[in-house]
Amino acid sequence: MEENTKKTGGWRTNKWIRAAIPALLLHCSIGTVYCWSIFSQEIADYIGFTKGATEWAFSFAIFFLGMSAAFLGNIVEKDIHKSSLIATICFAVGMAGTGFFIWFGGKNPGNVLALIGIYVCYGLIMGIGLGTGYLSPVKTLMLWFQDRKGLATGLAVAGFGAAKAIASPIMQAMLKNLGEGGIYKMFLILAVVYFVMMFVGHLLLKKPEGWHEPQTKEKGQSMFAVIKSKPIGNYIGIWLMFYINITCGLALISQEKMIVKCIGLAGIVGIVSTISAVFNAAGRLGLSAMADKMKDRNTIYKIIFAVSIVATGLVIVTSGIVNGANNIVLAVLVLALIFIVNAGYGGGFSNVPTLLSDHYGMGNISAIHGLTLSAWAFAGLSGNQLANWIVKTFGQETQIEHALADGTVEMITVNPTGYQYVLYATIALYIISLIIALVLVKPTDKALEAKAAKKAAKQA
């Protein structure tokens, strides 16, 4: 049946409707979790808590994304319809619940129940929707686009990255035009919108007609047995590369707005944020498509880490964040660093499932990918918090002037030296990642065969 489907062109006719479009509907919805910085201050002000207290909701969301993916990967492996439905319900309910507790907090400022409710809804419930929703379309995409797996997964994961660029202006407009209580009204409205989008994606998502799992050596084995079929250091290396790349990305991205203000570009923070989101999405799609043409997909990680080290090193050596406001070249270097890190951050995500499938086959890919996403969970806790600790511990806060459109001047509190010190931590971590990519993660069987064939051809 599979052969007949190929001959009639069914796969080519339906792969966009049955895989690509539903993947984008799911990922463009759940990817809006990265819009948190747009409304986090508004939530804090509305419910009567500090921004630091509400920030934990985002950290919990990323943590439970990774952990739900790790523990529910087997469900995704067995039944993509069940997992995509779980994702749809949890994400929409979590968003609506967040709106309810913001409303409650507005009626009862400083009430800890409102804060806990936001933690549970935005962090735990939405986090489960994020994890299952992220995983659900990935294997299906790789089955439909077997010759271009990287491009396919990159397309979906690019939707996750592009969601911020698409939703940010919409959310800002809603906050501006919904009047009093606009923050909780926005969550309730978007809960309905994203439920519809994700439910349509859930209905459309389907594996190729007539597809049967091949009886490969890893099929029927447990996830851990498959992982142990290669040296365990290989998997540990992939997990650590993924974890460190996310930690570094979040550390810089969490300070992005303040860094942009430090280099004298406070007036275009929103534009820079949108451009960085585009680089994030472009990295997810472009770097995964590029990796399809490489004999060893791990090469893409070596490139990501090497370029990140160079870009970070240039900003450190020139003290770009501290001096960028008075030097256009240094300001450009800082912006280049932000865009490069965003692209590498996105590319690191999109290449993980295909790198894992190259090493461990397709038999348990959803479960193994889910386990690997636990790195995202821990990075979600460590990335932001590491950067916040460094900024609070080192340097000194100062105020800079920012001219507003109406001619008045706004004073902005920043810590340029603190943001500069964040780069010392990230460059050290990038160097460790590059060493891991070179030493721990071994070439795939495919890469070794290609190398042997090339050597034999030369000898002949």
What's the burial of 155, exposed, middle or buried (CB within 10 Å: 0-12/13-18/19+)?
buried
DSSP code of residue 442:
P
DSSP code of residue 272:
H
Residues facing 409 on adjacent strands:
403
Taking alpha carbons only, the member of 69, 61, 68 closest to residue 94 is 61
> Any idea which architecture 222-447 has in CATH?
Up-down Bundle (1.20)
Domain boundaries for CATH 1.20.1250.20 within the chain: 17-206, 222-447
pLDDT at residue 2 in the model: 40
Taking alpha carbons only, the member of 166, 436, 416, 414 closest to residue 301 is 436
Residues facing 402 on adjacent strands:
410
CB 356 within 8 A of CB 234: no
pLDDT at residue 384 in the model: 83
pLDDT at residue 60 in the model: 92
> Any idea which architecture 17-206 has in CATH?
Up-down Bundle (1.20)
pLDDT at residue 211 in the model: 61
Helices 21-30 and 182-204: crossing angle in degrees, nearest 10, is 160
Q: Cβ neighbours of residue 225 under 8 Å, at least 6 residues apart?
A: none
- Residue-level pLDDT, tens digit, the chain, 460 residues: 344 334 444 544 578 888 889 999 999 999 999 888 789 889 999 999 998 899 899 989 989 998 998 888 888 878 888 999 999 999 999 999 999 999 999 999 999 999 999 999 999 999 999 999 988 888 888 888 877 878 878 877 788 878 888 898 899 899 989 989 999 999 999 999 999 999 999 999 988 876 655 555 545 567 888 888 888 999 999 999 999 999 999 999 889 988 998 998 888 887 888 888 889 889 998 999 899 888 899 999 999 999 999 999 999 999 999 998 889 999 999 999 999 999 999 999 999 999 999 999 887 888 899 999 999 889 988 888 899 899 989 988 888 876 666 667 778 888 999 999 999 999 999 999 999 999 999 888 777 776 776 777 677 6
CB 417 within 8 A of CB 221: no
**85's tokens:** 């439905």
pTM: 0.83
